[in-house]
Amino acid sequence: MRDRIDRIAEPWGDRTPYGPGQPWPVRQDTHLTGTGVDRWVPAASLLHSNGDAMDVAVRDGRIVGVRGRADDRVNRGRLGPKDLFGWQANHAADRLTTPLVRRGGRLEESDWDTAMGLVVDRTEQLLDAHGPGSIGFYTSGQLFLEEYYTLAVIARAGIGTNHLDGNTRLCTATAAEALKETFGCDGQPASYTDVDHCDTLALYGHNMAETQPVLWMRVLDRLAGPEPPRLLCVDPRPTPVAARAEVHLAPRTGTNVALLNALLHELVRTDRIDHAYVDAHTVGYEELAAGVATCTPEWAARICDVPAREIRRAAELLGGARKLLSTVLQGVYQSHQATAAAVQVNNIQLVRGMLGRPGCGVLQMNGQPTAENTRECGADGDLPGFRNWENAAHVAELAELWNVEPERIPHHGPPTPAMQIFRYAEQGSVKLLWISGTNPAVSLPELARIREILRAEGLFTVVQDLYPTETALLADVVLPAATWGEKTGTFTNADRTVHLCEQAVQPPGQARSDLAILLDYALRMDFRDRDGAPLIGWHDAPGAFAAWQRCSAGRPCDYTGLSYALLRERGGVQWPCDAEHPDGTERLYTDGISWAAPDTCETYGRDLVTGAAVSETEYRALNPDGRAVLKAAEHLPLHEDVSPEYPLQLTTGRTLYHFHTRTKTGRTPQLAAAAPEMWVEIGAGEAHRRGLGEGDLVEVATARGAVRARLRVTALRDGLLFLPFHYGYWDTPGRTGPGPDGGRAANETTPTDWDPVSKQPLYKTAAARLTRLAPADGTPAPAPTTGAAAPADPAAAPPTTGGPDAFADQRPARQEAASVPASPPAPPAPEATP
């Protein structure tokens, strides 16, 4: 292993191979600037969902670097490029340091009293005149648990509004909904350690290499070791995952249900079914088998444009697996029939009996670092603690906990999802929208519409953020927030691992933590419980954590066995962690399905096509014993298919070097330079037919809008274009929207359409037209060459490198370096008691 390498050029670093059942060897990654460190402060990564543990280096009251924590179960010392370099964004020159208020159409510097006074006055006026339904909260996937829980209590019991959701609606809503539909309740079944044990790994719409680079390092290390797992990749793009897959299926976008139904058809036809498991732990097998009876590989091949023999090979791979791990991400969650497709992955796992054992499980992934916490704290479209809004006993528990009348907690209908909150704002019935830590002016679909909503006179917008984002610039009040490294709190990754992230330095200027802002609001609003005591009885992060622990008690996401001290001592611990499981819980469902019984489940379920609610009575009849529910779904034609006017499919997605709308990664020199500007991807065959080449300046237009960028020619499938969704306008003359050079944000083109079950917007299925504006002038597209955007012709663009500033250290653990890979198989790592 080399001591120092360019981690922009080599994002995954050097290999530490290992075999099945062995512990993943340590490799400690470090990036430090200058000399000397005063202290190291524990934290975890905030620029993806993997939850990699790290220590933040502080010198003279300033962050000067990071290193991975070698003893942590999630990353065993490794860090991805975004974590190695992204901390520098804390120091960006344009951090918001003082509250801003809009006066005479302009945002002007103000102070906390004035800004909060305006927010409180407007809240009170609206409550008097229009009631709690006029107030909405749109939060993030990047705040901390303590902040989400406080926000949830403020919104649900303080204001009493149903309109609270996170931008997790865009990234993880389908993961949550698919788990709820199958298992009756949210909660990630599997563990990252299942990568250590599996013999087959199926990745559905999950470019793990770029979205979770450290987990991909784990896979690469298995692939480099003895008895490597076999990979199935379903992705229309030529991702690094596809390059390592034994079978790569690149379907037309929006056809996941057809493909998955064909895979299930083959498993049923060849009887690769674990009938004993199905009989013991599931309901609905007969309906599922009947539902896929006609879904032959040939039938799916016509819909998906994938050869039938490749579908058969994929089914063989799944059917022959002894330890099958499946993972799912945005290629499913943000595509047509999102929940229906994600549920079919659960179904494959269940009919194969591959659940709750080492190497056997499903990871319905998250997109954002703290997405899991919005879900469990009820800061998205659910009640706190995975409680069921239709279950009066669950609502009564919350009322008791908060000491309010149950009627004060809105539960007459489902909590309102983000896209519907924006619809209500568009109609004028939501009149105050408080946006914390997210940037809808770039991240929501059909941006022209979103900008119009945010600009409307009738909507008062409060934006709480670190930078003057596109959304902040459209706000009425802007509140400067502290971020990672500047505040203390916990958050939970995609495999239920909770980390403590401590304050290392002071926030800049007058910036305050999101928790401090929310507590200040609660105080000024004077929210009271039914005995007249303050509704929010805590004043800091430990207090909020303790309150949340009480709320989580006895629920699947039980935190009662955790404490800041324990997390400091041990690093990441997986929930549930309670008296019975003091070391946390590695896998759920090791002994059957535990949270699907009618009285405990989080939902009675929905129709996978219409989103219609299944009634309590129906659920009790269907699933009286609380087993996993095998739900079939029929393939539906795309809502927007290609046409003579818009002959190409258009999908959007991510690059390894950026996160979300680049608010931090665009302010990090190494990351910004690695992917500096918008680009468009097309496949070599499609480009050739259209007489287009690398570097051509093109316009991609849909019925909603258009973007302009240079063309990158890759090995993408025919008939498809790809746009990275990260780029917006804050670093362009337009500031909040397209300037004279036309659109730059991919979401100018995306449709307003969402999955009726999970309510997650669909970013993967539009129809577009491609026009060349100018031929290439010798400049290649500004796209990285390291991931799925790699040019089909390697000579077409210079390789992406980071130069001297992008070098970081990597060191193997001394004792393990000598023993791997030659050592005999060791017993599984003592992770946690199942």
Torsion, CA 1, CA 227, CA 231, CA 297, rounded to 10: 160
Burial string for 670-704 (b: 16+ CB within 10 Å, else e) reads bbbbbbeebbbbbbbebbeebebbbbbbbbbbbeb
Taking CB under 8 A as the criterion, which residues in 52-81 touch another protein?
none
**Residue 821, preceding peptide bond in cis (omega within 30° of 0):** yes
> Does 457 engage in binding with another protein (CB under 8 A)?
no
Residue whose CB is less far from another protein, 108 or 287: 287
* C-beta of residue 98 within 8 angstroms of C-beta of residue 111: yes
> Does 427 engage in binding with another protein (CB under 8 A)?
yes
Which secondary-structure segment (H or E) carries 479? strand 477-480
Q: Mask: binding to another protein, 151-180, rule CB under 8 A, as x and -?
A: -----------x------------------
Give the nearest distance from C-beta 453 to another protein in angstroms. 12
**Residue 827, preceding peptide bond in cis (omega within 30° of 0):** no
* C-beta of residue 198 within 8 angstroms of C-beta of residue 320: no
Give the nearest distance from C-beta 755 to another protein in angstroms. 9
Residue whose CB is less far from another protein, 464 or 760: 760
Spatial CA neighbour of 744 closest among 762, 765, 730, 761: 730
SS3 698: strand
CA distance 424 to 433: 10
Residue whose CB is less far from another protein, 426 or 718: 426
Give the nearest distance from C-beta 617 to another protein in angstroms. 12
Residue whose CB is less far from another protein, 426 or 677: 426
- DSSP assignment letter at 157: I
Give the nearest distance from C-beta 171 to another protein in angstroms. 19
> Does 429 engage in binding with another protein (CB under 8 A)?
yes
SS3 695: coil
Give the nearest distance from C-beta 753 to another protein in angstroms. 6
Residue 109's CB is within 10 A of a number of other CB atoms, namely 11
The residue within the footprint of another protein, chosen from 392, 636, 818, 826 (CB under 8 A), is 636
Residue whose CB is less far from another protein, 13 or 160: 160
Spatial CA neighbour of 440 closest among 428, 423, 458: 423
The residue within the footprint of another protein, chosen from 756, 821, 828, 834 (CB under 8 A), is 756
Give the nearest distance from C-beta 161 to another protein in angstroms. 9
Residue whose CB is less far from another protein, 637 or 733: 637
> Does 754 engage in binding with another protein (CB under 8 A)?
yes
Strand order in the sheet with 4-6: 4-6, 807-812, 27-32, 62-68, 53-59, 39-44
CA distances from 156 to 150, 165, 435, 454, 527 (A): 10, 11, 16, 23, 11
The residue within the footprint of another protein, chosen from 98, 403, 510, 752 (CB under 8 A), is 752
> Does 122 engage in binding with another protein (CB under 8 A)?
no
> Does 646 engage in binding with another protein (CB under 8 A)?
no
249 - beta bridge partners?
Answer: 234
CA distance 288 to 509: 58
Give the nearest distance from C-beta 639 to another protein in angstroms. 5
Give the nearest distance from C-beta 436 to another protein in angstroms. 22
Taking CB under 8 A as the criterion, which residues in 595-614 touch another protein?
607, 609-613
Q: H helices of 411-495, where?
A: 418-427, 440-443, 447-455
Residue whose CB is less far from another protein, 134 or 172: 134
SS3 171: helix
CA distance 211 to 496: 17
Tokens for 734, please give them.
């337009």
Give the nearest distance from C-beta 613 to another protein in angstroms. 5
Q: Interface with another protein by CB under 8 A: which range of 417-425, 451-459, 587-595, 620-628?
A: 417-425
CA distances from 277 to 280, 355, 506, 621 (A): 5, 10, 54, 21
Residue whose CB is less far from another protein, 412 or 814: 412
CA distance 290 to 588: 29
Residue whose CB is less far from another protein, 637 or 644: 637
Residue whose CB is less far from another protein, 606 or 664: 606
Q: H helices of 664-797, where?
A: 669-674, 684-689
> Does 641 engage in binding with another protein (CB under 8 A)?
no
By rule CB under 8 A, what count of residues binds another protein? Answer: 32
Tokens for 216, please give them.
């991909």
Give the nearest distance from C-beta 641 to another protein in angstroms. 12
Read out DSSP for 206-227? --HHHHSHHHHHHHHHHHHSSS
Give the nearest distance from C-beta 499 to another protein in angstroms. 36
> Does 406 engage in binding with another protein (CB under 8 A)?
no
Cα angle for residues 711, 715, 720 (degrees, 5° grid): 65
Residue whose CB is less far from another protein, 114 or 427: 427
> Does 130 engage in binding with another protein (CB under 8 A)?
yes
> Does 622 engage in binding with another protein (CB under 8 A)?
no
> Does 458 engage in binding with another protein (CB under 8 A)?
no
Torsion, CA 407, CA 409, CA 413, CA 419, rounded to 10: 150
Give the nearest distance from C-beta 162 to another protein in angstroms. 7
SS3 content of the chain, % helix, strand, coil (to 5): 30, 20, 50
> Does 426 engage in binding with another protein (CB under 8 A)?
yes
> Does 134 engage in binding with another protein (CB under 8 A)?
yes
> Does 702 engage in binding with another protein (CB under 8 A)?
no
The residue within the footprint of another protein, chosen from 423, 690, 772, 811 (CB under 8 A), is 423
> Does 138 engage in binding with another protein (CB under 8 A)?
no
The residue within the footprint of another protein, chosen from 4, 91, 108, 131 (CB under 8 A), is 131
* C-beta of residue 418 within 8 angstroms of C-beta of residue 138: yes
Give the nearest distance from C-beta 464 to another protein in angstroms. 24
Give the nearest distance from C-beta 163 to another protein in angstroms. 8
Q: Interface with another protein by CB under 8 A: which range of 7-15, 165-173, 420-428, 465-473?
A: 420-428
- DSSP assignment letter at 34: S
Q: Interface with another protein by CB under 8 A: which range of 126-134, 370-378, 477-485, 496-504?
A: 126-134
The residue within the footprint of another protein, chosen from 50, 346, 364, 420 (CB under 8 A), is 420
Q: Interface with another protein by CB under 8 A: which range of 21-29, 217-225, 235-243, 410-418?
A: 410-418
What is the C-alpha radius of gyration for the chain, rounded to an integer number of angstroms? 25
CA distance 162 to 146: 20
> Does 814 engage in binding with another protein (CB under 8 A)?
no
Residue whose CB is less far from another protein, 21 or 414: 414
Report the Cα 712 to chain-centroid distance in Å.
Answer: 26
The residue within the footprint of another protein, chosen from 276, 412, 565, 691 (CB under 8 A), is 412
SS3 463: strand
Tokens for 48, please give them.
């993806």
Give the nearest distance from C-beta 751 to another protein in angstroms. 8
Residue whose CB is less far from another protein, 427 or 771: 427
> Does 672 engage in binding with another protein (CB under 8 A)?
no
Residue whose CB is less far from another protein, 102 or 449: 449
CA distance 729 to 716: 27
SS3 106: strand
Calculate helix-pair angle for 338-351, 173-183, nearest 10 degrees.
50
Tokens for 639, please give them.
């809502």
Q: Could you list the residues that contact another protein (CB under 8 A)?
A: 130-131, 133-134, 162, 412-414, 416, 419-420, 423-424, 426-430, 607, 609-613, 636-637, 639, 752-754, 756, 759
